[in-house]
Amino acid sequence: PNGLIFVSGPTGSGKTTTLYAALLAINSPERKLFTVEDPIEYRLKGVNQVQVNPKIGLTFASALRSLLRQDPDIMMVGEVRDPETAQIAVQAALT
């Protein structure tokens, strides 16, 4: 199965808490879970978390491209800030 889920809301509304709870609920040793975040708010056991760093060229888009090469089962993108990131996220959901 594949797909895409968006969680949106104002600052402080619980978006990150909701996403982390969902990741923890579906986390298992058989699944490869990845996140791309800015910043990483909590460390999650069994989840490969990447923090973006535009100063060194690690953007949401470049991190997503890199993670796709690792054949993830589930990816969480902390923010979709530009069309390139949106396009890569949609392509990832379709593969």
pLDDT tier, 78 (very low <50, low <70, confident <90, very high otherwise): very high
pLDDT score at 50? 98
pLDDT at position 2: 86
Can you give the pLDDT at residue 41? 95
Residue 95: predicted pLDDT: 82
Collect all residues with Cβ–Cβ distance below 8 Å to 61 and sequence separation of at least 6: 82, 84, 85, 88
Query: Domain extents for the chain?
Result: 15-94
CATH top-level class of 15-94: alpha beta
Q: What is the pLDDT of residue 84?
A: 97
Q: What percent of the chain has pLDDT over 70?
A: 100
- Nearest in space to 93 (alpha carbons), one of 7, 6, 10: 6
| Torsion sign over Cα 11, 58, 90, 95 | negative
pTM of the model: 0.92
End-to-end CA distance of the chain: 9
